[in-house]
Structure 1
Amino acid sequence: MRKIRISLFLLLGVLLLTGCNTNVVATVNGEEITQQQLDKRVSIVKDYYEKQYGQKIEGQDAQKLIDNMKPGLLDEMISDTLKRQEARKVGKDMTDQQIQEKIDGVKKQFPNEEAFKNFLAQQDLTEKDMAYMLNLQDVVLKDVKAPTEEEVQEYYDQNKEQFKTAEQYEVRHILISTDPDDAGNVKHTEAEAEKLAVQVLADIKNGKDFAALAREKSEDLGSKDNGGLYTFKKGDTVPEFEKAALALKPGEYTREPVKTQFGYHIIKLEKLIPARDQSFAEVKDGIKQQLDQEAKKNKFNAYLEDLKKKAKITNKLAETGDNKSKD
């Protein structure tokens, strides 16, 4: 028993001397990334997907999905830590005024101070570190040249399929909604909505202007103010709406309310917009911006990869999954 106790004390001493911490999932040049920080990042991403797609990540498959998420998110955190370390080195001579200018430039992109603070919290950044990161980006990318007119033209010539627009359908529609709001409240029952839609349809048949009725009666906030006007191509909208609209000729409207997951619609087809090729003049600014962004992204990624080669990085998830680490 005495030997076992001595062995335990020795083991404890070794752990203390080596600074072993089972809570640490990675280190970047000696800076630790903890399990709690990784869990926070997972939670942020999980919340984003749930809000984006309206579907809870829960049940039997949820843990497997989260576990599959963690290695990639930890890699991102390692890269973020490395960038933050380098940004502090590069930005050490920045003046207070230069730092504040960077902060103010980002702040004005947010509707209020709270939204800005939430952004920083999600990115796990202080205002000063954010300024350093923007400065690092400026330093690394300062020599990236904007694409020339010839390069933009060449991209257009080689990728013309990207610049074909599909046939589109310009409609007006009036929606009587059965869709619940964020609090789960429903404005109309199915029966009420159908009855109101039939009444609106009767007004149209009696000669009332469709666009005026849409402004007055429609509950589709995205289109009611412009008279229910909505332009779409095949695949853009729910199948019931698309099928009803495509069955119309220009000037015709549906003779019965069309039921979808959102409620009851009355739809009028205004016109067909034929498929066509977009001209170079129409798309050249977008191509130029795309090529510029790609060049900057490639330059910064190459810079980051070089940093990683020189850094001392340990990744416990990689060690567990792949039996390897990088020193």
Structure 2
Amino acid sequence: MNLPGKISYRKLSWPEAGVSGANLERNPAGGEFFLQRSTINYFIYSIIFLTLISSLLFCGCTSPQDVVAIIDDEPITRNQLKTRLNAYDEKATFATATDSETQTQFTNAEAALTQLINERLLLIEARKLKLLADSDRDDPGKCKQAIRKVLIRLGEKVVFPSYQEAFTYYNQHRNKFSSKTRYQLEHLLLKSENLAWELKEQLEKGELSIADATHRQTPGIQSAKIDNQRLITVDEMPVVVAAILPDLKINQISPPIATPYGFHLIIIRKIVPAGNIPFPEVENRIKDLLFAERLKKNYQNWLELSRKQHTIKIYHKYLSGL
């Protein structure tokens, strides 16, 4: 006998049913028990729910081929990694890669991916500090600015090196602060060789100085430079200019020197022999060096802590072939 709204489950005696009588009704004529429709729906929905949960869990554990890493729930795609790799000038493109070449590509991909992961951690920190709105997550300019702000904040507590710290470093690393012979120069760059010879003659007679030539804006002078502080080595000069310096004496004016830029007149004002550079000349450079090292160490410490605080999963098998 079928009752309206009831579905026959199976014929059992009451003790064998094993479920609450509240969910069962008995057919007095046939001795059948019927499971109520609401209970059937409950089981159906439960199965659907569990199936969906299983699917989500399965998908969460298996990376699609276009995802190479996930930071928490934020993916980094192959396209993003390819874009970063293409930005590297040193990246080689192999038509048929050998095993060693494939390994080189893989190493480059890992290095680029590490950089992308670090940047993503900085962006997560930026959102945490309210330096980047969620609506701006896809704006490259605002993301770059946010990363810069986070790095500035990370460096705010780093102490700038003192005079004594810089001086101690200098004494411990004197070999790093030696130099070849250095020159203090005055320089004129002219458009034509004839004009260069004319000005050389005027300079030698004392009728004109490089400062005068600069102030008067003499026609044909492309540039004039007087630097009473900077000392340079021959390595910082064009080869043709460096070649003539050993033959020049202090305050002597060089003959016109032809380069692709024009014709040069050079005057040596000071020569500093090769040897150790005095500490006052390198003090600021040393302080900047020490400060940069401290900033780097502080950032690495933060990065190590941040990686522990976030779930990072890398799909190494998808890095090959990039």
Q: Please give the range of the TM-score, normalised by the shorter of the 2 chains.
A: 0.5 to 0.7
* Pairing partner for 1:160 from 171, 174, 188: 174
When normalised by structure 2's length, the TM-score is 0.58
Structure with the bigger percentage of helix: 1
Q: Residues 137-286 of structure 1: matches in 2 within 5 Å?
A: 137=154, 142=157, 144-145=158-159, 147=161, 151-176=165-190, 196-205=192-201, 207=205, 208-211=207-210, 212-213=212-213, 216=218, 217-220=220-223, 224=224, 226=226, 231-255=231-255, 257-275=256-274, 277-280=276-279, 283-286=282-285
- 2:116 counterpart of 1:77: yes
Shift of 1:158: 0.7
* Consecutive aligned runs of 4 or more in structure 1 exceeding 6 Å deviation: 14-17, 57-61, 63-68, 227-230
Shift of 1:241: 1.2
Matched to 1:306, the amino acid is: L
On the 8 A contact 1:250/1:270 being kept in 2, the answer is yes
Q: CA offsets per residue over residues 57-109 of structure 1, 9 Å max, x none?
A: 99989x999987543222111111123224434x26xxxxxx69xxxxxxxxx
On the 8 A contact 2:184/2:227 being kept in 1, the answer is no
When normalised by structure 1's length, the TM-score is 0.58
On the 8 A contact 1:163/1:278 being kept in 2, the answer is yes
Instruction: Specify every segment of 5 or more residues in structure 1 that has no aligned partner in the other structure, as ranges.
Output: 1-13, 50-56, 93-98, 101-119, 177-192, 323-327
On the 8 A contact 1:197/1:266 being kept in 2, the answer is no
Instruction: Specify every segment of 5 or more residues in structure 2 that has no aligned partner in the other structure, as ranges.
Output: 1-54, 133-138
On the 8 A contact 1:164/1:275 being kept in 2, the answer is yes
**Residues 1:60 and 1:218: Cα distance change in structure 2 (over 3 Å):** farther
On the 8 A contact 1:88/1:132 being kept in 2, the answer is no
**Residues 1:272 and 1:228: Cα distance change in structure 2 (over 3 Å):** closer
Shift of 1:32: 1.0
Shift of 1:229: 10
**Percent sequence identity over aligned pairs:** 22
Q: CA offsets per residue over residues 30-56 of structure 1, 9 Å max, x none?
A: 21112333344345555xx9xxxxxxx
Shift of 1:232: 2.3
**Residues 1:199 and 1:68: Cα distance change in structure 2 (over 3 Å):** farther
Instruction: Tell me which structure has the larger Cα radius of gyration.
Output: 2
Q: Residues 53-92 of structure 1: matches in 2 within 5 Å?
A: 69-89=108-128, 91=129
